[in-house]
Amino acid sequence: MMSKNTLPTSIYSAVLTGVCIAAIVFLTPAFAKPSPSSEVEAKALLNSGWWGNFSLPNHCELPGIRCNEAGSIVEINEDYTSVIRKNLEHMNWSSLPNLEKLHLSFSYLRGSIPNEIGALSKLTDLKLIGNDLLGMLPLTLGNLTQLVNLDISDNYLVGPIPSSIGHLTNLTNLNLNYNHLTGPIPLGIGNLKNLKALEIGDNSLHGPIPSFIGKLTHLTYLGLYGNRLDNSIPSEIGNLKSLKVLYMYRNKLDGRIPSSIGNLIDLTYLKLFSNRLDGSVPPEIGNLKSLEIMDLSENNLDGPIPSSICNLTHLTVLELFSNRLGGSIPPEIRNLKSLEVMFMGHNKLHGQIPLEIWGLRNLHQLHLNNNLLRGEIPSSMDQLMNLTSLDLSANRINGSIPSIKFPPEIQYLDLSENLLSGPIPTQLEELCKLEHLGLSRNNLNGKIPTGLDFLPRLEYLNLSYNSLSGKVLNCFCYLRVQNLSHNYLKGPNPHISPDSCRHEEFNFRRFTACNKARNSSHCFSSVDNQDSSGNNKRIRVLTLVVSFPIVSFVVVLAFTCFCLHKTKKKQSTARAMKNGDIFSVLNYDGKIAYDDIIEATNDFDIRYCIGTGGYGSVYKAQLPSGKVIALKKLHRLEAEEPTFDRCFRNEVQMLTNVRHKSIVKLYGFCLHNRCMFLIYKYMERGSLFCALRLDVEAMEIGWTQRVNIVEAIAHALSYLHHDCTPPIVHRDLSSNNILLNSQLEAFVSDFGTARLLYSNSSNQTLIAGTYGYIAPGSDITFFY
């Protein structure tokens, strides 16, 4: 029996349903249709064109878009994802009042940063890394007072850093690296008391490092490298006691390293190389117990190496080369058990190499070259089992090269220009990874160990200016550089043409009949000395008679050509400078940009080397204009070849006429008395070989991209074979010669360079590739 106060179940359910429906209808009207503000935001996205003509009902579902519960955009994150070219000026930033994060790194951005971006008052993260942004940083950046992270590195921004940046007092990370910013470091940066990372390297900033940097006590990373900052390092730098990384290299800093640097007890990385710092290394540097890498090279530092450096027990890299340091190497060096790299070459160090160095078993590279060190190489050197590079050249080391088991990993061994005597130890034959062996200008005697010609990786061999005897080994012809001159060696050149005697790379001059004071056999001849001596005298007399008028005529002709060339060169240089284009091949002779390239690569320092081939090493360089290029510095110097300059220029000019989207662009070349190099477009992803070598990287290249790569190579080869006059046959195509850009597009490289380097090929077809092999049946004749 039902109570009179109780409603029937059906009636109760109907009432409850009605209440719920009413709640949905009357309490949540905002969800019935989009709010006016979200419609404005959706329209801003559509008008920008960044997502094409999207037709999604909800703009919050677009890739890279995140909205809050009210449907308002709070984050745009298009890092690495889009292939559509974007322009910041196409977005109506005032329509995005709630935007907190804007991440558009490597997103094909172009144009400038608009002033309207200052309307994003709630923005906390702004990252525009690795784009093509131009122009100046807008003053309105100072309106983004909630900003915590600001990273606009790796673009093409110019002009000064705006002083309004000092209003961003919440900023913890500021990164403007790799741009073309100029002017001094602005005073406003001193207001950024919460800053933990300040990165403004690789720009063109000038002036002194301001002392207010010392007020940024929360800094853990300070990168001011690659600018034109001058004057001395302020002592206030010692106030940055939280600092872990200090990079001030490649500037124009002078004066002494302040002793206050010893206060940075948490410092891990210290790089001050390539400046003009002088004075002694402060002993307080020994307080940096956490230091792992210290590079003070390429300065004007003098005085002894302080023994306090040996307190840095975590140090793995110690670079002090190219200074004026004197005194001896402190024996306390034995404390640096973690040391892997020690570069102290090109100083004035004297005394003996302390035996303690040979006990540093983690050493990989030890360079003490170009000093005044003496003593003998101890047999304890065999303890350095991880050693890959040893350079003790240009010292006063005496005694013999020890007959020990050399470190099996060694690749570079240079003991030249010392006082070493005795034979070359046969144990060197066991170094299967050896690539460079320099023993020249010593007093070595005996025979060349026969096993050296079987070392599979050996490319450089210099045994000149010794007292070696015996026969020349036959297989040295495969080396890239070899010099056996000024010895007592006998026998014919191993498969080397007489022309090769003119080049240092295959230098056999004066090792037999070329130097009669040392031996009696012949160079490139089977005729004996007795039969040829009379002929030689007559030839010398005839040569003097004939050569005098010829030399006189050549001198007059050369002077006339010099005057004409100088006038023409001034006109060409003026045109090139006026156009602002150093890559104008017809006018470009390498001298306009030579200083910039030398500075950009630190005189072709190994740090900028990204690869080595059969005839050259490749370097990456960023020019003052911001353009990144690849430089192929040729190993082979042709200074003694009379026709080389003309042939080289004609060949380069011809190759620059090659125009195909899948062939690496040759920009130009440089001829200089110190070096010679080619200038190519830089390919970000390197060779196809490297991209496929590791499983992780290979997985990035899908089958569609692989088909595109094959298709691009085929089109390039077809162009070379059928559309070039004369045709160009590559003959050395491999995955190492296929380069990839940032979009994994393929480009054929290294064609035609054999023709550049060697002028003995046929004039009918340009044969490309590595010198040293031509397929059987070819009509081409090369000398080996």
| Catalytic (active-site) positions | 732
Helix, strand or coil, per DSSP, at residue 449: coil
Report how far apart, in Å, the C-alpha atoms of 100 and of each of 73, 129, 586 are: 8, 17, 51
193 carries a ligand binding annotation? no
Counting every residue written for the chain, the total comes to 784
Determine contact, residues 153/109, Cβ cutoff 8 Å: no
CA distance 411 to 443: 23
In single-letter form, the type of residue at position 427 comes to Q
Tokens of 25: 């209808």
- DSSP-H helix ranges across 626-684: 644-655
Determine contact, residues 481/460, Cβ cutoff 8 Å: yes
Determine contact, residues 73/66, Cβ cutoff 8 Å: yes
CA distance 146 to 169: 8
In single-letter form, the type of residue at position 274 comes to S
CA distance 664 to 738: 9
Report how far apart, in Å, the C-alpha atoms of 696 and of each of 83, 293, 684, 699 are: 22, 29, 17, 5
Determine contact, residues 112/132, Cβ cutoff 8 Å: no
Tokens of 532: 């040829």
CA distance 408 to 415: 17
CA distance 706 to 315: 44
Beta strand pairing status for 365-367 and 389-391?
Answer: parallel
| Burial category of 61 from C-beta neighbours within 10 Å (exposed 0-12, middle 13-18, buried 19 and up) | exposed
Which runs of E-coded beta strand occur in 542-624? 609-612, 616-622
State the CB neighbour count (10 A cutoff) for residue 761: 20
- 766 φψ region: left (φ > 0), alpha (ψ -120 to 50), beta (else): beta
Helix, strand or coil, per DSSP, at residue 235: helix
Beta-bridge partners for 111? 133
Task: Give 460's contacts (C-beta < 8 A, 6+ positions apart).
Answer: 435, 436, 437, 438, 479, 480, 481, 482
Which H or E run includes 470? strand 467-471
Q: Do you find a cis peptide bond into 726, omega within 30 degrees of 0?
A: yes
Which residues define the annotated binding site for ATP?
632
